[in-house]
Structure 1
Amino acid sequence: MTRVRYGPRGESEIRRAREASARLPDIWSTGVVAVWETDPEVVAAVLPPPLEPGARPLVRAAVSQVDLPGYPLGAGSVAVAACHAGAPGWYPLVMPMTHERALIGGREVFGEPKKLGEVSVEQGPDGLVGARLARHGITFLEVTGTLGAALPPPAQAEKLDFYFKFLPAVDGTGFDADPVLVHCLRREKVRSLHTVTGRVTLRESPYDPVADLPVRRLVEITLGEKTSDQRGRVAARVGARDLLPYVHQRYDDAAQVLDAPPAPSGAAARERSA
């Protein structure tokens, strides 16, 4: 019988796939990172328990083009500084990805809040730099500026991200099982880094309301080439009552199928920039 590809795979196939994933080479990305201070009460409002605000009310936006051979990927993230059990890190609110392949693994394995979107990073011959995140026809975050001086690449460092992994209940009430808080530790290597003098523009979007994280003081913008690996662990079980008020962070409005198409980005009601 011809092989049925939806049929079960043997132990040897499963083992080869696992071994191949453990031997992935360094995958480099070119990206813009912008960090700014926002209102402390805003950071506190978006953090589900048991996360707590970090030492400073920081927001970090990363917009990258990932050098996957034959399969280039745009990857973005908007996160706020947070802390759990004394460990400082970042809590991403939205992570746009340009391909489903990157989206599925992160959401199902780690609980990352990934969504399909548009991600671009551009460098002009005159030193102009531009990066943008967009979904539903709305560019909700844009970083523009001019490339500056080269910085010494920092030593390899570890960075911690916090995610909540859960499955909504089949009957639409609560979860199928207790959610878990995931600590995802990344070891990051940087081979080039430049300053960028520019601005961050946040545009109103009902689907990705990062405009609620206003730029009160711009800390830095950089352009770099980086690679990283990651490993995760379950750090804590989370009560459904604590997490349910924040589940909407993960999804667009479930009633949007009844709505008219979203307005063009040019009709955005407000912009906040610095």
Structure 2
Amino acid sequence: MSRLRYLEGPETRAPGMLRNTVYGVRATYETDREVIDALLPRPLEAIERPEIWLQMVHVAMHRSEDETIEIGALTVTVPCTHEGAPGAYCFHMAMEGESVVTSGRERYGEPKKIAETRFEREGDTIRATCTRHGIAYFEIEGTVGEKNDRPLEFEEHLFCYKGMPSIETPGEFDGDVFLTRLNWQRKYTDRRDMTGQITLRESAWDPLADIPVRRLTGMEYVEGGTATGGQILRTVPGEWIAAHWVGRMDDPRNVGVDLKQRIAA
């Protein structure tokens, strides 16, 4: 009797939200208004302060009762609203493991890339890095302090775009482009304030350094459980997201746009 595993067999994927256990750092920093205005695609709307929200965490993904995948993951977003509802536009995700990267990109439209991550902790001092193409382009380090009084259980939403770039015409898409929303249910067991800093290093493949850290406005250490899922919100015209799509790719030839010329126009 023969088998063919290029076809999916029964009961290989469980329905519902994925359960995870996490620990790591959440942070918010102020950047330049013109950066946020250029970075945020339609129909998302910017909030009053030009901010970036990010997290660098270690995740244990419990795919089944007897299967757990452990990865490091960096998520970088722009806090914003959609039709008045708060959330954040997710424009960069980097993490370990091909399967978690491809599944998130294809299913939810998450802009995931394969990366190397590292967490170091000595006492109350934490340092974490994200590396791609041999460049540690993101680093966050700080000292864990006292427990804060922020809620341990809450839900937060991230916005992504899901589409298939055109085979024949660059800058267009084959079929619909969807605005999706990630629904992350947090059940933390610990939230502690931190003091520290974020370092962004130049990388032609991952140019987070183009989004400068003007002022670190918040940093905390968290640990506990999460459940993640998502949904489609609506279709959008492909031109709303076409110029942003390069952020999902490794294209060191991309020179980007001149923000001063963009403002003048």
Q: What is the TM-score of this pair, normalised by structure 2?
A: 0.86
Q: Please report how far the alpha carbon of residue 27 of structure 1 lies from its aligned counterpart in structure 2 after TM superposition.
A: 2.1
1:169 corresponds to: 166
2:12 corresponds to: 17
- Indicate whether 1:49 and 2:74 are aligned: no
1:136 corresponds to: 133
1:149 corresponds to: 146
In the alignment, which of 59, 74, 90 is matched to residue 52 of structure 2?
A: 59
2:261 corresponds to: none
Q: Please report how far the alpha carbon of residue 245 of structure 1 lies from its aligned counterpart in structure 2 after TM superposition.
A: 1.6
Deviates more, 1:146-155 or 1:184-193: 146-155
Q: How many residues align?
A: 248
1:32 corresponds to: 25
Which consecutive unaligned segments of at least 5 residues does structure 2 have?
62-66, 255-265
**1 or 2, which has the higher helix percentage?**
1
In the alignment, which of 122, 125, 144 is matched to residue 124 of structure 1?
A: 122
CA contact (8 A) 1:169 1:175 kept: yes
- Indicate whether 1:108 and 2:106 are aligned: yes
CA deviation digits over 1:10-36, x for unaligned, max 9? xxx1xx334x34486x42111111111
2:94 corresponds to: 96
Identity %: 35
CA contact (8 A) 1:63 1:120 kept: no
CA deviation digits over 1:73-124, x for unaligned, max 9? 1111111112211111111221001001211111011100000011222211
CA contact (8 A) 1:33 1:63 kept: yes
Which consecutive unaligned segments of at least 5 residues does structure 1 have?
257-274
CA contact (8 A) 2:115 2:131 kept: yes
Q: Please report how far the alpha carbon of residue 46 of structure 1 lies from its aligned counterpart in structure 2 after TM superposition.
A: 0.6
- SS of the residue aligned with 1:109? helix
Change (3 A) 1:7 1:221: closer
CA deviation digits over 1:200-239, x for unaligned, max 9? 1111111111112211221111111032223322212111
CA contact (8 A) 1:64 1:120 kept: no
Change (3 A) 1:23 1:135: closer
Q: What is the TM-score of this pair, normalised by structure 1?
A: 0.84
State how far apart, in whole Å, the 1-side matches of 2:107 and 2:76 are: 20
CA contact (8 A) 1:63 1:119 kept: no
Deviates more, 1:240-249 or 1:89-98: 240-249
CA contact (8 A) 1:97 1:114 kept: yes
Which residue identity does 2:83 align to in structure 1? A
